[in-house]
Structure 1
Amino acid sequence: MQILDSTWLINMIEKSGTSPEARLLAAFDILTDWLEAPSIKENLTQSVEANTAPKLLLSYLSNQAKTTKAAMPEMLAEQMIFLLSSAIQAHLHGNHQALQHAKQAAQALIKAQCEKEKLTFSINKKLYAIAAGFALIALIGGAFLIQQPNAMPIVN
């Protein structure tokens, strides 16, 4: 079964989150529950998840990452796939906290990609405000000097 490239997983993710950020992270909890279900682990071969690229999930996660205004949405989606695949493998080898640890790493990646965009906008906004302030002062000063030509005496 190709769980990472299934419409079932996409539908579950879609239902699990109200924001793009929540949907990006929902896969970790869904897969944790799925892997803990009776008889799933016994029927899942370890090589199934590692050998194929989940194009459907990659496309979905890329679209969600774009909606979050991530700096590099395709890269973020690929990183999420890597984290999910690696965590599933670790879970199958007995590390039952792997998906939760991967989720924490994913949260940091999302935050880093989205904060950069917000930070850039915030800095640009401040720079524009400072530049506008200087321009306004220069205009007022220039207008004052034009109105009163004797305000600044010329020294010979």
Structure 2
Amino acid sequence: MRPSKRDELVREALKVFYRGGFHATGMDALVAATGISKTTMFKHFSSKEELILAVLRLRDENFRNWIIRRVEERASSPRGRLLALFDVLAEWFEQPDFRGCMFIKASGEYQDPDHPIHAQSAEHKRLLFKYFDAVARQAGAKRPGDLARQLLLLKEGSIIAKHMGYEVDPAGDAKAAARTLLEDALGPEAEAA
């Protein structure tokens, strides 16, 4: 089934905003990059911010599906999945189009916590927390919410370190720190028999 013009616009706008940011990318740049006229854009979205919200929803769906699928492909045990997060991040960091986290960028550009774009960005992070909290519970963590929050802080820090280019292996460093957190929350990893 051929995607609708609206879906095509959202997919193309995602690429443009991810490369150039939200405030820095004007409607003329979107028209030039997507090949979709302003008239068509405004037919589907009443404002640039409405388009940004649609882009963030698509990015959230795509990214969460990808990261969860890859984590689950890499490890079968809950403990293994908590560590696999950092291997998956390393995969993402090596992609040639890596430009950091779109949600960190969006919340930085739309700083009012009540702004819909900021709120949509926070929702993405909340949904990732919900998944990793559930995995921490499956792993038997003493305080699964604390463990999930701590692991996600390591995740966010490694994304920023990679994006800014000041660490050689931020995902690996975060994974080493995560091992310490897991030992505290779950006890030492059992030796393979």
TM over 0.5, shorter chain: yes
Distance 1:43 1:107, change over 3 A: closer
1:64 partner letter: V
SS of the aligned residue for 1:6 comes to: helix
8 Å CA contact retained: 1:3, 1:9: no
1:67 partner letter: Q
Identity %: 29
The worse-fitting range, judged by mean Cα deviation, of 75-84 and 7-16 is: 7-16
Q: Which residue of 2 aligns with 1:98?
A: 170
Q: Which residue of 2 aligns with 1:115?
A: 187
Equivalents in 1 of 2:184, 2:101: separation in Å? 37
8 Å CA contact retained: 1:5, 1:55: no
Within 5 Å, give how 1:4-83 maps onto structure 2: 6-41=64-99, 47-48=105-106, 52-53=121-122, 54-83=125-154
Equivalents in 2 of 1:66, 1:9: separation in Å? 19
Equivalents in 1 of 2:86, 2:177: separation in Å? 11
Which consecutive unaligned segments of at least 5 residues does structure 2 have? 1-58, 109-117, 189-193
Distance 1:64 1:44, change over 3 A: closer
Distance 1:89 1:31, change over 3 A: same
8 Å CA contact retained: 2:100, 2:159: no
SS of the aligned residue for 1:40 comes to: coil
Distance 1:43 1:111, change over 3 A: closer
* TM-score w.r.t. length of structure 1: 0.64
Equivalents in 1 of 2:95, 2:84: separation in Å? 17
1:68 partner letter: A
CA apart distance, 1:91: 0.7
Equivalents in 1 of 2:141, 2:100: separation in Å? 38
CA apart distance, 1:41: 2.9
Equivalents in 2 of 1:26, 1:13: separation in Å? 5
The worse-fitting range, judged by mean Cα deviation, of 35-44 and 69-78 is: 35-44
Distance 1:4 1:93, change over 3 A: farther
Q: Which residue of 1 aligns with 2:22?
A: none
CA apart distance, 1:103: 0.7
* TM-score w.r.t. length of structure 2: 0.53
Deviations 1:117-153 (A, max 9, x none): xxxxxxxxxxxxxxxxxxxxxxxxxxxxxxxxxxxxx
Which consecutive unaligned segments of at least 5 residues does structure 1 have? 117-156
More helix by share: 1
